Structure 1
Amino acid sequence: MSGSPASWPLVKIGDIARVKAGATPSREKKELYFSESGHPWVKTGDLTDGLLYETAERITEKAIADTSCEIHPPGTVLVAMYGGFQQIGRTGILQMHAATNQAVSAILANRQRVLPRFLNYCFVYSRPAWKKIAASSRKDPNITKQDILDFQIPLPPLSEQRRIAEILSSVDEAIAVTQAVIEQTRTVKQSVLNHLLSKGIRHTRFKQTEIGVLPETWKVVCVSDILTDSRYGLNTPLTSEPLGVPVLRMGNIVDHALDFGSLKYAELTKADAEKYSIRRGDILFNRTNSRELVGKLAVVNEKIDASFASYIIRLRTDHTQSDPWFLHAILSSPTYQDYLRSIATPGASQANINANKLGKVMVPLPPVAEQILIVANLKSFDEAVSASTARMSALQRIKFALMADLLTGRKRVTADALSPAV
């Protein structure tokens, strides 16, 4: 870190904390070394940059005795050393006694010099620097223990550290509350969706079908029965230069909606531009990638001059039979997402669902008017999630702006300063 005011000294982590590495007990002795009732054992995937209360795995007393694992106290700051470029630099603060694996360093702060929460925020703010260090002249990106010991941070007085941590923690709490609202809204939506897709709206008579009990007036059809077109996308070189037509790829499908960031482009003939065009109501279905990503889909909600890549299938529904937003609601539901992943054909490195297999998926089909009513019932949940997501993004921008100001001393706080409104 840099930009320290004259009154704040730049100090090395090694001068204000001890750094210890972890270890991984042998997986071949799983029954001996791993236990659900053992000591929490932190891996990089457990780190979320905040307070850490639980871990995915636990290790036994025997594992502690037979390896170099140590139990660290609450307040220990943790940093991911390696485990993938997206993991490097992730942090956490122990809220219980725990050990770590070899990819996580434990930093035990001298609390007469630095507060754990302040130190953790310094590390979060410094993640770009950690990644730069990890990538420099090394075959496998990683941070070493010496990198941490030598890393410098501006060190204000303890009273100012405490106030900075309080201000940033208040924003984190607002972010956590907003995330909880999003998750709860999605949970309620799923419950409502499950009811609507099986019970419909104001039905009293039901029948048994190939896919379960449905309202008596509903049909069961294959996806292909309600499409006017099912087409693979372009297989042509793409460029980052904004020349030609934007081409949507699997990365542009995020949370079952379209994200128009990171676009690629292709120069197309007039015929190809029309053949691979996108219009409002088209469903874009990601047909290949890891099993977790196969089946991502989104409806085009606006008029856009764009095309789509070869690993996407464009679905156009027969609007006299099916509302595209209703079909999207079915296929994006957790039940159908699990089913789509289960029928994906495994490949050497990627799973795949071809258009023929997707076309044979059976779905419930109410009358179009009822489909539209069901979609309208779900719309309020999507709007609530969008509003909360926008608020969370705003809070995250506030947090990083505050870190840039407060952790460098660009703006100073006093012990009796009020937290900014968030």
Structure 2
Amino acid sequence: MSEVKTDLNSFDSRLDLNNLDKSNWKTYRFDEIAKNISERVDPNNTDLKVYIGLEHIDSESLHIKRHGTPDDVNGQKLKFYKGDIIFGRRRAYQRKAGIATCDGFCSAHALVLRANSSVIEPELFPFFLHSDQFMNRAIDISVGSLSPTINWGTLKNQSFILPPKEMQSKFINLFSSVNELVNAKTIVLNRQKVFNFSREKAGLHGENISKNDRKDTAIGLLPSSWKVVPLTEVAWFQEGPGLRKWQFTDEGIKVINVTNLVEGKLDLTLTNRHVSLEEFNAKYQHFECDENDIVIASSGNSYCKHGVVKKHDLPLMMNTSVIRFKPLDGVDFNYLNQFLKSKSFKKQIDKLITGAAQPNFGPFHLKKVLFPLPESIDEQIHIGLKLEESDDRMDLLLENLDISKQLQLSLINKVF
């Protein structure tokens, strides 16, 4: 957080955002700030080539980087023009509002908004939409429980305070500078993702395999000297005991479940479930986690989410839908860890549970998983370290990008 404060102070010195004089700012209804563009498009009868659904818009991003085609959809849609803002009126809490870079059409679950340039500069408008003031208001006026949605009839009557036109260019320059920083870090992060994927594929299937030194196996091309072995030959694993809600207490031994596995990390702050020390000692000691246990979610939407138990997490025990792993003798921890969080592992799991009503796997499935085993422990160590370095780089880039996004939102909220 110190980096955010430092950067924020340097930006503040230009405009003194902490002491903005808003005495001459004016309040406008939203329909005075923006127009609702409601032109209809039939995907089966249009020359437009670009379709944008809410799934193509990233949360908290001004930029739309993906799109579909008319063949993807049916039914009446909304036309947008280059420069319009596509705002997700369904589930506004996802904070989706992106700038259209071309003409096209979008989901009817969006609003197509166009800035009224006599009130707000079009370049400033998307930043205003991403402010907490606007987004929180949008959430508050949404209706419906399962899929809360905003009605234009309600939104248009909401009031917001805006700076005078003569001040807006200063804020545009400020916000655009920070946005360029976010974009630059996003580009670097995406390149690292591509690099990590290619390195993972090369690492878990042998680096620089020549045509004369490879063999085709059930899990892809491998160096001729490598083996394909069942996971049971390289790892010990154990499924959680299946605790019930009535067994949980506020104190005792902390219990891990699928909720604690997010973004490749083990986050124990997300739950507060324990088993009493007495019950743990009587029934569950053999489910206690050790430092460096690899833990994986085995059911639900989080299946195959991954984490590693650290010393500061202990004492800790498993619950149902979590499986812990340890490498057996002759197997490098980093290499096993990288395999268990790889696309190669998840791809095998997906094949084994195809047709299930809900993603769910256990020891029965894991016994059928195949493992690419290099010839020597030294090669495992080398590959494991290389992949770990790539992951560390990714974590650093994600942290830096998050800091820049915090800075961007802080600046926007100081103005709006």
| Fold in common (TM above 0.5) | yes
Is the 1:346–1:352 contact (alpha carbons within 8 Å) kept by the matching residues of 2? Answer: no
Partner SS state of residue 330, structure 1: helix
Is the 1:284–1:312 contact (alpha carbons within 8 Å) kept by the matching residues of 2? Answer: yes
Partner SS state of residue 273, structure 2: strand
- Summarize the Cα distance change of 1:155–1:213 in structure 2 as closer, same or farther, 3 Å threshold: closer
1-structure distance, mates of 2:414, 2:226: 59
Displacement of 1:50 in angstroms is 0.8
- Summarize the Cα distance change of 1:54–1:277 in structure 2 as closer, same or farther, 3 Å threshold: closer
Q: What is the one-letter code of the residue matched to 2:139? A: K
Is the 1:22–1:102 contact (alpha carbons within 8 Å) kept by the matching residues of 2? Answer: no
1-structure distance, mates of 2:130, 2:345: 37
Residue 14 of structure 2 is matched in structure 1 by: none
Q: Does 2:307 align with 1:298?
A: yes
Q: Provide the TM-score with structure 2 as the length reference.
A: 0.81
The counterpart of 1:93, out of the listed 75, 82, 99, is 99
Q: What is the one-letter code of the residue matched to 2:114? A: L
Once the two structures are superposed, the pairs formed by residues 350-369 of structure 1 within 5 Å of their partners are: 350-366=358-374, 367-369=376-378
Q: Does 2:104 align with 1:134?
A: no
Is the 2:295–2:306 contact (alpha carbons within 8 Å) kept by the matching residues of 1? Answer: yes
2-structure distance, mates of 1:360, 1:77: 49
Higher helix share: 2
Residue 165 of structure 1 is matched in structure 2 by: 172
1-structure distance, mates of 2:343, 2:97: 31
Q: Does 2:357 align with 1:340?
A: no
Q: Provide the TM-score with structure 1 as the length reference.
A: 0.80
Is the 1:286–1:313 contact (alpha carbons within 8 Å) kept by the matching residues of 2? Answer: yes
The counterpart of 2:33, out of the listed 4, 16, 20, is 16
Q: Deviations over 1:366-409 (max 9, x none)?
A: 333321221112222122112111111111221121112122xx
Worse-matched range after superposition: 11-20 or 242-251 = 242-251
2-structure distance, mates of 1:371, 1:382: 16
Residue 51 of structure 1 is matched in structure 2 by: 63
Is the 1:243–1:267 contact (alpha carbons within 8 Å) kept by the matching residues of 2? Answer: yes
Residue 22 of structure 2 is matched in structure 1 by: 5
Residue 410 of structure 1 is matched in structure 2 by: none
Cα root mean square deviation, aligned: 3.2
Q: Does 2:116 align with 1:113?
A: no
Q: What is the one-letter code of the residue matched to 1:278? A: C
Displacement of 1:109 in angstroms is 1.9
2-structure distance, mates of 1:358, 1:216: 25
- Summarize the Cα distance change of 1:248–1:73 in structure 2 as closer, same or farther, 3 Å threshold: same
State how many pairs are aligned: 386
Residue 181 of structure 1 is matched in structure 2 by: 188
Partner SS state of residue 284, structure 1: strand
Structure 2 unaligned blocks of 5 or more: 1-19
2-structure distance, mates of 1:276, 1:234: 11
Is the 1:256–1:297 contact (alpha carbons within 8 Å) kept by the matching residues of 2? Answer: yes
Q: Percent identity?
A: 18
1-structure distance, mates of 2:386, 2:67: 38
Displacement of 1:166 in angstroms is 2.5
Is the 2:24–2:164 contact (alpha carbons within 8 Å) kept by the matching residues of 1? Answer: no
Worse-matched range after superposition: 161-170 or 194-203 = 194-203
Q: What is the one-letter code of the residue matched to 2:140? A: K
Structure 1 unaligned blocks of 5 or more: 408-422
Once the two structures are superposed, the pairs formed by residues 50-69 of structure 1 within 5 Å of their partners are: 50-52=62-64, 55-58=67-70, 69=77
Displacement of 1:111 in angstroms is 0.8
Is the 2:40–2:79 contact (alpha carbons within 8 Å) kept by the matching residues of 1? Answer: no
